[in-house]
Structure 1
Amino acid sequence: MSKRNIAILTIFLALLIDQASKIYVKTHFSIGEEVTVFSNWFLLHFTENNGMAWGFEFGGKSGKLFLTIFRIFAVFGILYWLISSIKKNTHTAVIIAIALVFSGAVGNIIDSVFYGVIFDAPAYGVATLFAENPYGELMHGRVVDMLYFPIYEGENFTFFNAIFNGADSFITIGVILLFLFNKQAFPKETEK
C-alpha cells in the first residue's frame, strides 16, 4: 500500500472512530452520565467543553471563534507537512503519526464548527442530532469528551482525572510516534 493511501486510510478510520463515538455518546448519554467499561479504571463519562484542554475558557465567544480559526489554519499547516512528508518518502510511522495528529485536530474542529448547529442541548436527557432548535451557532460548538481513566482515586486526589475524546487520543499517539521516530521525522541536513 502506498504511503499516500496509508495516510488516507489512517485519517478516514481515525475520523470515523472519533465522530461515531462522539455522536453516539451525545445522542445516548446525558451530560455527566457515566458508565463503567472496565472495573473502576476505565469509564465513559459524558462532558463537553469549549475546546480547550481541561475545559479552560478563552475569552468568551470571541475567544472561542479565535481558537477555532487558529485551529483551522494549524490543520492546513499539518496537512502541508503530511503531503510534503509523503512526497519525500518519509518513514511510514512518521506518515501515520502526522495523519493521526491531523485527524485529531480535524475531529475537534468538526465539533467546534458544526456541533452547535446540528445538536440541541436539552436540560435533562440526550441531545438530538439535526435538531430543530440547535444550541449554538456555526463556529461555536462544544467539544464532546467521554474517555475517563481515573487510575487512582483517593479522598482528595485522583490520578489522571482528565476526560478526553478519540481525537485527543489520536493527537497524543501521533506525538508519541513523532517522538519515537524523531530522526526520521526531523532528519538533519547533511553538511556538504
Structure 2
Amino acid sequence: MGKRRLALCAGVLAVTAFGPAACAAYAADGGGVLVVPAAPAPGADIALGVTGCDAREAVAQSPALVSDARLTPAGDGLAGDARVRSTLTAGTYEVTVACDGTEHKGTLEVVRKRTPAAGAQPSAHPSPVAPVNAGGGGAARALADSRERHGPGTAQTVVALALAGTAALTVHRAARRQARSARGTG
C-alpha cells in the first residue's frame, strides 16, 4: 500500500476511532488544524491534519512535538504523524502549519499520564495466568496440571537420527556431484 493511501486510511481510522474528541479539537481551534487524539499524554503518537491548504506538502511545528511533522496529501487536506515529547508537563501547546505562505494554527492539550495509586492493584491481569480452555476439550488444563515432563521417547529419537543421517548423506552426495561436474568442465 502506498504512503498516501496508508496516511489516508490511518486518518480515516483515527477520525472514526476518536470521533467526538477529534470533532471537538477541530472545532475548538478554528484554524483548520486537526489533532487526534485531542488530549494525548507525553510520549504519545498523534495524527495531525490541516484543511484549506492546496500545497502538496506542509510542515507542522510545535514545542510539544519531538520533531517537525511532514504533512502530505490525504483526503481533503494534508495529514501526517508526530510524537509528543515525553518530557512535557501537562498544558496547552500551539501547533503551527505553514502552508502556501499562510499559517494555520491549532492547539494541542497535553494531559498528565495516569498512574495507578500507590498500592493499587490492576483490575485485570496483564497476561494470562492459567491455560485457556480452547481446543482439545480442555486438554490444556489437564496437561498443565500434570507434574511429569516427558521428552521424546526412543522411537522419536531413532526417527530423528535417521532423518538427520539421510539429510547429511544427501548433502554429501550433492556436494560430490557438484565437485565432479566442476572438475569435468574446467
TM-score range, shorter chain: under 0.3
Q: Give the strand-richer structure, 1 or 2.
A: 2
Query: Relative to total residues, which structure has the larger helix share, 1 or 2?
Result: 1
Give TM-score, length-normalised by structure 1: 0.23
